[in-house]
Every structure is written in structure tokens, then in C-alpha cells.
Structure 1
Amino acid sequence: MSTHAQRERLLLADLLESAGPGAPTLCEGWTARDLAAHVVVRERRPDAAAGILLKPLKSRLDRVQQEFTAKPYEELIQLIRTGPPRSSPFALKQIDEAANSVEFYVHAEDVRRAQPDWTERTLDPVFSDVLWKRLERAARVLGRKSPVGLVLRRPDGQTAVAHKGAPVVTVTGEPGELTLFTFGRQSVAHVELDGEPDAIAKVRGTKLGIDA
């Protein structure tokens, strides 16, 4: 039986293929080709991918990313579909699921929601719960740059504190939408924000997420 990460991987590959290499994405400055190269480098070149989080290694990451960006677009799509080599930690189903379910979901929406005719996707309840559990664990990291208190709330009332502070802004939405919001895609996430107008404006204008 396929995992959430495997399904999101194939969906991302399909979306990238349909969009074409020059299509825009929600990743600032990146086309679909750039995003595809990023996904491949992250899985296949751990020596360079460390630069995603470690600034001293960023120049190496940029160099390797440029090399992969120059590859035929069809080859990049195929590398995403087939997944990492057996020697990669990502080849282990448990690691793939833990590391890539959210990653591929967010990047799939980066492609989908950058297109003018995009339509909202309905997630199955099981996957929504998976996203919520991951969000609960990562909320403090994702929301650490919030200038005000930030609480995430599901429609059923479950909450997670992303940042302590005052005043407080409560963001209500489905887990997938809250995930996009906290990963810095506030402008396209279908959520409702409750709080003081100035505080809401500050949250909308702050780059949330791991790379914030």
C-alpha cells in the first residue's frame, strides 16, 4: 500500500510536468524547473542539501542546484517520480514518510496555487490528521518569527500554539491550509484570522516557516 509521501510525490511530479519548466511557483524567484531541481538535490545530494539549513554550506548548495537545474526537465521529473537511490536515507519508507509527506504536499500546492486557474483540493481525513500531528510538533519552529502570539485552530476546536505572546492572533482552518499558512504561504491559505487588525496585518506580512 502506498504511503502519503509516495502519493504526494507522484502528484507533485504530475503537477510539475503539466505546468511546464517555465511555470511560476509560490517559491519566490523559482520556476517549476527550479523547484524540481530543489526536490531532486534534497533527496540525492545530501552533501549539498545541508545548505538548506546551514548557511556556511549554502554556496555549495547553490552550485549543485544550478547543475541540476541545467538538466533536461523531463529527467528531473523522472528522478522525482522514481525517488532517491537505495543508498539514500529517504529510500527507507519510514524516513520518506516522516520527511516528505509535508514537504511534497507544500511543494505540490506551490505549483498548483501559482497557476491562475487553480482549484482547491479536498484532502482525505486521514491525511489531514497526519498533517495536523506534524503541525502540532513543528508549530513552535514554524511560528517562531511571528511578531505576535499565534494560535492554530482546526474547525473541530483542536489548537496548537505556534508562538507565545500578546496580542494573540488565532488562525482557523483545515490542517492542510494551516500547514501552508505556517510554511509562509499566508497569501494563498484558506484560513480565518481572529485578533486585532494591526496584529493580523503583522502576521500576514511576516515570512513564517523554517527558512524564515
Structure 2
Amino acid sequence: MRTPSLARRERHALCDLALVLGEDAPTLCSDWTAKDLVTHLLVRENNPLGAAGIAVPALSGLADGAMARLARQDFAVLVEKLRDPGLTPYALPPVELLANTMEYFVHHEDLRRGQPDWAPRDLDDKDVDAVWRAIRLGGKALVRPAGVPVEIRRTDTGATATLRRGADPVTVEGPVAEIALFLFGRRQVRDLTFGGPADRVSKLRGADLGF
């Protein structure tokens, strides 16, 4: 039997954890609760106008309205809707790989790390490699707000990737999952080290990273 993709497994793990923690559980997404996070993901995949509001800040009212309407429904019902993408483009393997691998990995961690007793997970080597490929491909856009040269280095293999070229780059070194979450603007990370000119390190660490 074929193993589900990392995106699909992270989707299911997020749903399982949401039901355990309950709809009012905090997340790393500002003041969002678990219910807010679930409605966000449902709007993204099932409401084209609401999805436009997620992608375009000027249209954010469309997303907010769609989320508010969904939030009137029972939390458990919403979670079960999210568990299976159904007949949407996101169910297609190529789209799921490109659009949902990091979406669900990061948001699963948003829910996990929003709790006071969180700890990093031990991911399968293939999953670590999948996250590494994703941040190598998307990392240029993620670090653009910092405006400094950036290189990332994974501590398990020593492999490196240049996200923004330039002399005297900032080097971010650590476990792949922690690097990924940092690049997506999360500050609840562990075991990262930063090298390079101090002013550039400070600029990267203080930037509003991510999309």
C-alpha cells in the first residue's frame, strides 16, 4: 500500500491534534485559535474568493468573512471536512506536493508549538529531505523581506543552499525543520546558529520572514 504524502500525513496529524486540544487551543498564528486555523485552511482550499483574500492583503475582508461564516459550524464537523481535501485541485498529487507540503507542515507545527509543553519532533529522513527540498525551492521568496544574503546549512548532512546571493551572507545552521520554521517567520525554534556580519544577522532575525 502506498504511503501517503507528507502533505497528507501532516494534514491528518493536524486534524487529530486539533480534536485532542479543542477549538480554543492557541496557535503560533497571532491570536488565532485552533478553530481559526482550521477555518483558514478550509477557506484556502474550498472558497476561491476567500482564498483570494488570503493571498491579497487588500482583499483580506473576503477571507475574514468566509472564515466567520464557517466558524458558525461545529468544530468537529469542520475538522472532518479538512481531513479529506475532496474534489479540489489540492487533491492532485503534483498540486498537493507543491502547495500543501509546507502549508500543512508549518500549520501543524503552529498548533503543536502553540502549546507550552511542545518539543521538536523526530522526523523520518525522507520527510526531512522533503522539507529541505521545499525550502531550497521556496526559500528565496521567504527571505526576501530581510534584504541580506542568506545561506542555510543542515546539521545532519552538512548540505547547504544559497537562498539569496551576495558576499558575506548570513548562515543559518540547524535541523531542517527548525530552519524551515524560522524561514516561515516562526520564532518558537530551537538549535539554530547564525553566522555572518552581526548587523546582517540582526536584520535577518528581525525581519518579517515568510509569505
TM-score, scaled to structure 1: 0.90
Rounded to whole Å, the distance in 1 between the matches of 2:19 and 2:166 is 43
Aligned match of 1:173: 174
Tell me the CA shift for residue 201 of structure 1. Answer: 2.6
Task: Note the alpha carbon deviations across 1:47-66, whole angstroms, 9 max, x for none.
Answer: 31122222343221111111
Rounded to whole Å, the distance in 2 between the matches of 1:102 and 1:199 is 26
Is residue 115 from structure 1 mapped to residue 115 from structure 2 by the alignment? yes
Identity value in percent: 39
Task: Note the alpha carbon deviations across 1:148-185, whole angstroms, 9 max, x for none.
Answer: 32211112232222234565210012221111010001
Rounded to whole Å, the distance in 2 between the matches of 1:106 and 1:190 is 17
Unaligned runs of 5+ in 2: none
Rounded to whole Å, the distance in 2 between the matches of 1:31 and 1:205 is 25
Is residue 206 from structure 1 mapped to residue 183 from structure 2 by the alignment? no
Aligned amino acid, residue 168 of structure 1: P
CA change 1:67–1:189 in 2 (3 A) is: farther
Task: Note the alpha carbon deviations across 1:90-131, whole angstroms, 9 max, x for none.
Answer: 122332232111111100110111111112101111111111
Rounded to whole Å, the distance in 2 between the matches of 1:69 and 1:170 is 42
- Maintained 8 Å contact 2:113/2:188: no
- Maintained 8 Å contact 1:180/1:189: no
Q: Which moved more, 1:65-74 or 1:25-34?
A: 65-74
Task: Note the alpha carbon deviations across 1:23-47, whole angstroms, 9 max, x for none.
Answer: 1111112111111111111111123
Aligned amino acid, residue 199 of structure 1: R
CA change 1:26–1:127 in 2 (3 A) is: same
Aligned amino acid, residue 107 of structure 1: H
TM-score, scaled to structure 2: 0.91
Q: For this pair of structures, how many residues does the alignment match?
A: 208
Is residue 50 from structure 1 mapped to residue 52 from structure 2 by the alignment? yes
Q: Which residues of 2 match residues 55-204 of structure 1 at below 5 A? A: 55-81=57-83, 83-86=84-87, 88-155=88-155, 156-165=157-166, 167-204=168-205
